[in-house]
Structure 1
Amino acid sequence: MGDWVMAQEPVIRLGFLFGVVGIMATLEVWRPRRPLSVSKPYRWINNGGIVMLDTLLVRVLFPAGAVGLALYVEAQGWGLFQVLDLPGWLVLLLCVVILDFIVWAQHVFFHAVPALWRLHRVHHADLDFDLTTGLRFHPLEILLSFALKAAAIVALGAPALAVLLFEVILSSMALFNHSNVRLPEGLDRWLRRFIVTPDFHRVHHSWHPNETNANFGFNLSCWDRLLGTYQAQPREGHDDMTIGINQFREPEWTRLDKLLVQPFVGPDHSYPINRRPEDAPAHRKDPS
């Protein structure tokens, strides 16, 4: 099974990636939620450029990837689920759920530590919200995220199939819930009981700090509900809300070269969770 998973990983991951991109891109044209302030081709070129850099960097530094690491962990017998006698299906389910919670907690952590927020704000500084936003992360954040995920895989002893399943779900859901798609209200209300929908996650991309620091989930919606970070709707409504943060609002900051230097420019500002409004620089007051 392990050899099959490793051999098929690129085909499975790329197949889902291009399939979900094609579906959501089509829906964004057919049922857009909001008009874009920056043209779609320009956004795709620059946001896509940083995705390519991220992918190349991870493949160069970690050629085996998360699935390869999971295979090694299985061979060594490391981790919690390698010593527990549980049915295979239950191990798969538990690994996916636990890894999803770890990603949720990591997301909160990147909002709480000012130095990490500098990296993560590249994702939040997008002036629009569409499927390419779900792939727009600074390369240093991608490397840190991979390291945290690797540590979780080793600690859990997550099987390769579970890691592959989780990776496919996470990337597909990130594209789905960052998409600029208008879902029927009834469907959104039903879906968000279980998973993160575009309207659910768009709140997280509001420029108001209390909304930026809400709705951290990428896949399961239960973590925000259970842990007190859920906000149902943006205060200004989805049509009138301002996307982004109150830095880097000039269109030039959407260029690839500017995205790469954003973490090293300006103050870390008032958005980190543990930063009180009075700690923010005077010229960067909390927009709330």
Structure 2
Amino acid sequence: MWYLDTLMKMPAWQLFLVFLLQNLVVFGAALGLGYAIRHYFGISTPTITRKEWSVAGITVIINSLITLVGGMLWQSGFIRLSWGWSINVLTDTVLLLLAMDLLMYIFHYIIHHTVLYRYIHQLHHASIDPTPIDLFVLHPVETMGFGILWLMVLLSASFNLPAVIIYLCLNVIFGVVGHLGFEPLERHGSGQLKILQWIGTSRFHHAHHQDIKGNFGFYTSIWDRLFRTYLPENKQ
């Protein structure tokens, strides 16, 4: 593909500008989608503070730097990506979701049960009733931690590029959904679907913001159920 060939030949500074633009687009799309959903359901939204904009901006820059490191590792052959529409798109997407969900669960659990919570993660939990901007209100160390986990997974094996793109899109969608501050599915009467019990819905992550003792997963509730950190239904 010409686009990948162009990226492969770019020097680091040009690559960073491309990834910075990409992350700014993701940032804008995430906020646009999140606040549009809140507006559609008639949920009032507090004004975003200058501090929230500042922290979110730093998060976007760090995400761009993490993407740059990934791009340079790919240019050097350490990250291997294949191209093609096959069953590998599905299998790799599922593998990436489950692997990252487990690693982020472990990282998230450790943060909550060590001094890291007070000095790092408490910034994110300043919002008990999150709004979409809170997806990006993270301590820089935490942002780098999640980014390093992502690079570790990419370095572990060869992955299908469309699957990586799909995973990244799903990651943003789950992030937005988790920080809506309400459960839109319940407004449509579909909140009781059995499969939703296993997915990281708005209600699932909102409960974590209100009770920091459970629901450490991101995309699923699998690890919380397995390791007995799943919050009871009456707390969700």
Q: Paired residue for 1:26, among 19, 32, 36?
A: 36
1:1-288 correspondence to structure 2 within 5 Å: 3=4, 17-31=27-41, 40-43=46-49, 45-59=50-64, 61-62=65-66, 64-66=68-70, 68=71, 71-72=74-75, 75-76=77-78, 88-89=88-89, 90-115=91-116, 117-185=118-186, 186-190=189-193, 192-206=196-210, 211-233=211-233, 235=235
Contact 2:204 2:215 survives alignment (8 Å): yes
Distance 1:31 1:47 in 2: 23
Shift of 1:201: 1.2
Q: Secondary structure at the match of 2:47?
A: helix
Give SS of 2:197's match. Answer: coil
User: Could you say which residue in structure 2 is the equivalent of 1:258?
Assistant: none
Give the Cα separation in 1 of the matches to 2:203 and 2:28: 23
Where in structure 2 are there 5+ consecutive unaligned residues?
A: 8-14
TM-score of the superposition, structure 1-length normalised?
A: 0.62
Coordinate RMSD, CA, aligned: 3.5
Structure (1 or 2) with the larger CA radius of gyration? 1
The answer to whether the 8 A contact 2:101-2:219 is kept is yes
TM-score, reference length from structure 2: 0.74
**Residues 127/87 of structure 1: CA separation in 2 closer, same or farther (3 Å cut):** closer
Q: Which residue of 2 aligns with 1:283?
A: none
Answer yes or no: is the 8 Å Cα contact 1:71–1:159 preserved in 2: no
Which amino acid letter does the alignment assign opposite residue 151 of structure 1?
M
Unmatched segments (≥5 aa) in structure 1: 239-288
Equivalent position amino acid for 1:200 in 2: F
Cα-to-partner distance string for 1:236-285 (whole Å, 9 max, x where unaligned): xx7xxxxxxxxxxxxxxxxxxxxxxxxxxxxxxxxxxxxxxxxxxxxxxx
Percent identical across equivalent pairs? 18
Give the deviation of 1:166 after TM superposition: 2.4
Partner Cα separation in structure 2 for residue 14 and residue 182 of structure 1: 26
Q: For 2:153 and 2:110, locate their aligned partners in 1 and report how far apart those are by CA, in whole Å.
A: 15
Do the aligned residues in 2 keep the contact of 1:24 with 1:176 (CA within 8 Å)?
A: yes
Query: Judging changes above 3 Å, is the alpha-carbon distance between structure 1 residues 193 and 104 closer, same or farther for their aligned structure 2 residues?
Result: same
Alpha-carbon deviations, 1:198-227, whole Å to 9, x = none?
111111111xxxx31211122223222233
